Amino acid sequence: TGAAGFTEHRPPSHPLPPDGPLGWAGYDAARERAAARTGEEESVVYGTGVVGDRACVLLAFEFGFLGGSLGRLTGDRLAAAYELALTRRLPLLALVATGGSRMQEGMVALTQ
């Protein structure tokens, strides 16, 4: 997220229970490895920036973080990005690269 003209935003933190909502053994360790590998805390980053000469909200998936998969925290970030765009009346540009929902989070991930 070192792009010039991009300001990353972070939603309020809502920590997951140990090993996710299903208690899937090893899920925390997989998230830690993904964070170490990518430098990100989740599979989505969002913020404000400029494309051409137009201010907008940018939303980008990091495929290197668990295949860009969607979990509860990803959903929190997606919702925050859309809310930011709506509040500021800005267009939202999404760069999507995802492997789908995280099976380790069960129905929580599917609702995202």
Q: In the prediction, which pLDDT does 92 show?
A: 97
Residues 31-61 pLDDT 10s: 889 999 999 888 899 999 999 899 999 999 9
* Sequence letter at residue 53: D
**Distance of alpha carbon 61 from alpha carbon 22, whole angstroms:** 24
Confidence check: pLDDT of 107 > 70: no
For the domain that residue 78 is a member of, what is the CATH number? Answer: 3.90.226.10
Assess if residue 2 is contained within a domain: no
* Overall number of domains in the chain: 1
> Which string of b and e fits 33-50 if b means at least 16 CB within 10 Å?
ebeeebeebbbbbbbbbe
Q: In the prediction, which pLDDT does 72 show?
A: 81
Confidence check: pLDDT of 2 > 50: no
**Distance of alpha carbon 45 from alpha carbon 19, whole angstroms:** 22
The whole model's pTM is what? 0.79
Assess if residue 72 is contained within a domain: yes
Q: Who's near 86: CB < 8 A, 6+ residues apart? A: none
